Structure 1
Amino acid sequence: MRSAARQKSALAVTATALLALAAPLLTTTEAAAASVSTWDKVAQCEASGNWSINTGNGYYGGLQISMSTWRAFGGTAYASRPDLATKQQQILTGEKILAGQGEGAWPSCGPAAHLGSDHTDPYPAGPTYPNPSSLASGTLVKSPNGPAVKVMVSGSGVPVAASDVTPDKYDLSKIVLIEDAAFRALPSVPPSGTVIHDQAGGAARYVVVDDAALPISAADWTADGYDQRADMGVPTAWLQAAVQRTVGNGRVVMDQSGSDPARYVMLNGSALHISAAEWTANGYNTRTLMGVPGDWLHAAAARQIGNGTIVKAADADPTVYVMAGGVAVPLTWADYTGLGYDKRTLEQAPGTYLKAAAAKAAPVDGTMLLSPESNVVWQVVGGRKKAMTADQFGPGKLSFDDVVGVPTAFTAKLPTVTA
């Protein structure tokens, strides 16, 4: 917009814009739209394709628009000057100028780029997709940008595997397209507390806690009030995986029925009892308390913490333990680093639980122990230790991965089986 003819056009632009606003029914024979590629040609001609150019000549940006023109056609809604606006914003303003003045607003570059004969909307409106939050549970959804399919369950998008389609009777002809960003942002796990079942059928019912599916016994179904909640079908493959997962470490739980006042904290699938003193002293009262099926909770409370778990009390006690067959074995700093436990995650447990576990006489039968003083692997039998042989390990047999490294002092105090 820098020629003599352009200057005359710039002087008249305000009147043109006002006329367009006052008489919207008036039409022009000039083009009112052009493709982005055509606008790129104009910008290449006007400004060597530099959409941020400001040389001080009174014209700005890729389309070299004067300030009077920029203001008259609403460009200041985007930026104070054309060169400070985005390429798209400059093109959208250029569209208004083109509609009002035609390609002559760019006397040389407009005709050279065939600006007046393009007639293509540079930024056509895309299809309108529904908000996934408005879709009912059971609706199949996908992004227009990929093949993955999810099923809506209480506001979440649970992945549907190819193996689920037939047994779960999912009708792929009824898939609803949603925005790609919205599709990817969908939580893949239903909210905690959602009651679910296998979409393919069956009597088993589960409740979601974190990303795990906890079985609900027949007794708990009514006693815990789960029969009063919506019962949602979920894809078979997802459910099978969720059943194998455990509730997240640190999650505080209680019996959903409310008949048991005890509170527990989860650690690697075990529910550890929290004493009344520790409930507030260790800050468990500040965490979200989740109700879980009573029968599941009783089983989790009876389950010992996995062998090799490294743990310390949630209070100020600095002692670190390794779990071995239900016993919390205290570790010195030399043990902690020498046995490689400093490379593992250090978990927390209620102090009263750890003290009771540390006071146990011996690990449960079958626990395999190894101390740094020798290469002998010991197996606990009736509170005593028995040396194992190499032929007990291997494919289809015991695994060295299940052996727990403990301080020499711990194995030394266990009597040895000699016969």
Structure 2
Amino acid sequence: MRSAAARKKSALATATVTAATALLALAAPLLASAPASAASVSTWDKVAQCEASGNWQIVDPSGQYFGGLQISMPTWRAYGGTQYAARADLATKQQQILIGEKILAGQGQGAWPNCGPKYNLGADHADPYPSGPSYPAPSSLANGTLVKSPNGPDVRVMIAGAGVPVAGSDVTPDHYDLGKVVLIDNNAFNGLASAPPAGTVVHDQAGGANRYVIIDGAALPISGSDWTEDGYNIRSDYGVPSAWLQAAAQRTVSTGRVVMDQTGNDPSRYVIVNGAALHISAAEWTANGYSQQALMGVPTDWLASAAAKQMPNGSIVKEVSGADSTVYVMAGGVAVPLTNADFTGFGYDKRALLGTPGEWLASAAAKAAPANGTMLLSPNSSTVWEIVNGKKRAMAGSEFGPGKRSFDDVVSVGNAFTAKFPTV
């Protein structure tokens, strides 16, 4: 190991870099291809033996030099070492040598004034790792670790095995340190799931009391009462990027997902279809194959809200078992039957056909009238009708436009359906 006087002469001790180079956006030059100068692993081992008695995880007593090559913090940062670890001694031997290669190319063997020339470091031009650098497996990284591919600027944070995207706007409020980004293999990075596994409890990394449970990439809010009663308080709770969480809170659970009350106190089962939770009767639970699907517990209050939610207007549905071949369009909570001509004439054949429990569909088809405010249009008329307390009101063209009603919300239905409502 070098003397203090020798260390002071080392260029490693004097290389400096501004904090900005730690930012990922400015780190691209540090991730360039391997330098022209190189040395074999055996030569680097000799240098490490000279510098640090061959200990690749050593910290100099002065606290200024780290790892087998005794690299100072400014130099480690300047040559891109933080892509691997915060300090040289925390990186692997291979990673330290890869950064040593860059230092050798930039400063020459004089960067190690005693040990470099002693072992002719500058004269050994062998590539230490011709197959390229090795990267840690994502599964080996702790939750909260920032990762990126060497081939692009995008950064993710590891949460329960997933790589959740980090937006630029998240860095400051979420207190992410881009100087600690870890490089992982490009294919491994691209293969990371972008959302934590179903059932993961999360909160905004920037702070706040709100908690959510992830189901199919959607963040479902956990109410204060559900937090304890549903048992979410005993699960691990992970901070996730603010921008991602805001988007996830707007997503809906996948259609076809079978759910139940997380407490287990309610025996009812539901299937999510287009954002609404539809009740599954006991007879249909097995007959329609729902019992063969994964059953996911969801927050009690969220489930009550989803079960009360009206299926979005314009959703095209039919009974999941196929026993009834009738196709319906949802209009204000009513399942309106469609003829073959209407199904194709209205362009509904271009929309997804959603399977629903038979008993739920029968109940929706039996409703007397759509909810107030539902807008209907039939092929025998150019008039758009609004449903008001079980009757229909002809709407004027002036009621549509920016800041007013939208024609996109009008549901096309057969003539027979609009004809049965008296006119206001």
TM-score with structure 2 setting the length: 0.70
AA at the equivalent of 1:136: A
2:371 to 364, 388, 393: 364
Q: Does 1:287 align with 2:317?
A: no
Tell me the amino acid that sits aligned with residue 172 of structure 2: T
Structure 1 position 119, deviation (Å): 7.1
| Paired amino acid for 2:225 | A
Q: In structure 1, which of residues 202, 212, 215 is the aligned counterpart of residue 208 of structure 2?
A: 202
Q: Could you list the per-position Cα deviations for residues 193-241 of structure 1 after superposition, in whole angstroms to 9, with x for gaps in the alignment?
A: 0000000000000000001000000010001100000000000000000
Alignment partner of 1:403 is 2:407: no
Gap change, CA 1:337 and 1:125, over 3 Å in 2 = closer
Evaluate the alpha carbon distance shift between residue 226 and residue 122 of structure 1 in structure 2; reply closer, same or farther with a 3 A threshold: closer
Query: CA offsets per residue over residues 332-385 of structure 1, 9 Å max, x none?
Result: 111111111111111010010010011110000000000000100000001100
Letter in 2 for 1:204: N
Look up the equivalent residue of 1:364 and give its one-letter code: A
Aligned to 1:274: 280
Give ranges in structure 1 of 5+ residues lacking alignment: 1-32, 34-117
Corresponding position of 2:349: 342
Give the corresponding residue for 2:12: none
> What SS does structure 2 have at the residue aligned with 1:125?
coil
1:119-139 C-alpha deviation (Å, 9 max, x unpaired): 755971322211110101000
**What is the RMSD of the two structures over their aligned residues, measured on CA atoms?**
1.4
Deviations 1:282-309 (A, max 9, x none): 0000111000000000000000100000
Which letter maps to 2:308?
Answer: A
How far apart are the structure 2 equivalents of 1:144 and 1:400?
48
Q: How far apart are the structure 1 equivalents of 2:302 and 2:131?
A: 53
Could you tell me how far apart the structure 1 residues matched to 2:197 and 2:215 are?
A: 8
Q: Indicate whether 1:383 and 2:390 are aligned.
A: yes
Secondary structure of the residue that 2:402 maps to in structure 1?
coil
* Amino acid of the structure 2 residue aligned with 1:334: A
Give the counterpart letter for 2:232 in structure 1: Y
User: 2-side partners of 1:234 and 1:283: how far apart?
Assistant: 35
Q: Percent identity between the aligned chains?
A: 70
Paired with 1:122 and 1:136, the residues of 2 have a C-alpha distance of: 29
Identify the match of residue 255 of structure 2 among 227, 249, 253.
Answer: 249
The one-letter code sitting in structure 1 at the alignment partner of 2:417 is F
Alignment of 1:251-330 (within 5 A): 251-315=257-321, 316-330=323-337
The separation in 1 between residues aligned to 2:255 and 2:419, in whole angstroms, is 33
Distance in 1 (CA, whole Å) between partners of 2:132 and 2:125 is: 18
Indicate the residue corresponding to 1:187 in structure 2.
193
State the distance in 1 between where 2:270 and 2:401 align.
38
Amino acid at match of 2:275: G
Q: Indicate the residue corresponding to 2:229 in structure 1.
A: 223
Letter in 2 for 1:218: G
Q: 2:420 aligns with which of 393, 398, 413?
A: 413
- Provide, for residues 92-149 of structure 1, a one-character-per-residue CA deviation record: whole Å limited to 9, x for no partner: xxxxxxxxxxxxxxxxxxxxxxxxxx97559713222111101010000111111110
Moved over 4 A (4+): 118-123
CA distance 1:262–1:204, shift in 2 (3 Å): same
Which has the larger displacement, 122-131 or 397-406? 122-131
3-state secondary structure, aligned to 1:398: coil
> 1:268: how far off?
1.0
Q: 2:340 aligns with which of 324, 333, 355?
A: 333
Q: Could you say which residue in structure 1 is the equivalent of 2:146?
A: 140
Residue in 2 that maps onto 1:355:
362
| C-alpha distance after superposition, 1:385-416 (max 9, x if no partner) | 00000000001100000000000000000111
Counterpart for residue 176 of structure 1: 182
